[in-house]
Amino acid sequence: MSNQETTLEEATHRINQLRTDLIEWTRQYYVLDQPTVEDHVYDESYRQLTELEQAFPSLVTPDSPTQRVGGQVLPGFEKVTHEIPMLSLGDVFSIEELSEFDQRLQKSVESEVSYNAELKIDGLAISLTYENGVFIKGSTRGDGTIGEDITENLKTVKSIPLTLTEPISLEVRGECYMPTKAFIALNKRREEAGEATFANPRNAAAGSLRQLNTSETAQRQLSTFIYYLVNPEQLNVKTQSEALERLTKLGFRTNNESRVTNNMTEISAYIAEYQAKRHDLSYDIDGIVLKANLFAIHDEVGNTVKVPKWAIAYKFPPDEQETIVLDIEWTV
Ligand SMILES: NC(=O)c1cc2c(=O)c3cc(F)ccc3oc2nc1N
């Protein structure tokens, strides 16, 4: 075999090994929050992969970790139509209103309604589409029907898998957010650079995803929690709690603070627990989301034009910490 072929074969073998390692290490660090290798080990492998791909461009694949860095400056964002509208959640602001929602829903269906209770992440709603297990499109909610194609920016978000653990085609939805630590560091950098700071992590995440310079997005340390499987029957999943388990197995980052609750007592306890824990979390939440756990109930009660009738968001009252910050800003 000529020298070139041998190195091509070696390169193929070496690239596959590096890619497998880097994809697994990325998943452990960014999806599971359980890194197993030191940064310098990751960086050295990444450097070798980049070098080999530059020497053998034909060996680059869409799921290679090197495809995440962005580095393009986009002319703008294409529009995307959501085949299935991306709705918003109805809001309630008290346990009484929540109880009324629960009673209304219990009355409109025969079976006992149990809810999957989830933290309401304060970020930006996104939709991710995969074809045969490969990430092909990501978009914002927009007005629920028309969103913006931000695929290139979402590729830089390391908790978003570029390939799934199974070669299936599906759409999922979730929240893209900026962790509190990343938000504080970003605002510090911006302040030092004499740039305007972001008011909160949600605005920072939105601003980061709307960057036309994708390498800027790549530096914003965004993360995700995926919470919605658009076609659960496709995967033969019957409840929201099962859907979250399935999404995790497929390689998505899901929030593991969610819990099935069977009555208002358990719901109130969950709300009290996370209202107390709110500032110990590494990300902002602005409430709790309750979803009828059984998908059969979703089909039975359906949606209004704007919101699902099988889910509700309970918003936390603004806590003193936020009001103090507002006062300081106001006086300044
Ligand atoms: N911010 C959130 O953490 C969060 C948001 C939504 C939604 O916006 C949402 C909107 C729908 F039409 C249906 C289900 C949903 O479930 C959701 N679940 C969540 N955990």
**Nearest ligand 1 atom to alpha carbon 118:** 20
- Spacing, Cα 274 to ligand 1 middle (Å): 17
Other C-beta atoms closer than 10 Å to the C-beta of 24 total 12
Strands 146-148, 79-81: pairing is: antiparallel
Position 1 scores a pLDDT of 47
222 or 69, greater pLDDT: 222
Using one digit for the tens of pLDDT, what is the confidence trace for 241-289?
Answer: 999 999 999 999 999 999 999 999 999 999 999 999 999 999 999 999 9
Position 3 scores a pLDDT of 52
Confidence tier at 112 by pLDDT (50, 70, 90): confident
Position 331 scores a pLDDT of 44
CA atoms within 13 A on the CB side of 34: 3
Confidence tier at 235 by pLDDT (50, 70, 90): very high
Judge whether 193 and 283 are in contact, CB under 8 Å. no
Position 325 scores a pLDDT of 54
Report ipTM for this prediction: 0.99
Q: Which residues are catalytic?
A: 120
- Spacing, Cα 273 to ligand 1 middle (Å): 20
Mutate to test the pocket of ligand 1, among 82, 86, 89 (most ligand atoms within 8 A of CB): 89
Mutate to test the pocket of ligand 1, among 145, 289, 290, 303 (most ligand atoms within 8 A of CB): 289
- Spacing, Cα 245 to ligand 1 middle (Å): 16
Judge whether 49 and 15 are in contact, CB under 8 Å. yes
pTM score above 0.95: no
- Spacing, Cα 131 to ligand 1 middle (Å): 23
118 or 7, greater pLDDT: 118
**Nearest ligand 1 atom to alpha carbon 125:** 8
**Nearest ligand 1 atom to alpha carbon 308:** 12
Residue 57: pLDDT over 80: yes
- Spacing, Cα 184 to ligand 1 middle (Å): 25
84: exposed, middle or buried (Cβ count in 10 Å: 0-12, 13-18, 19+): exposed
Position 320 scores a pLDDT of 62
Around ligand 1, the residues with Cβ closer than 6 Å are 87-89, 118, 120-121, 125, 175, 227-228, 289, 308, 311
Judge whether 115 and 261 are in contact, CB under 8 Å. yes
Smallest CA separation from ligand 1 atom 5, residue: 120
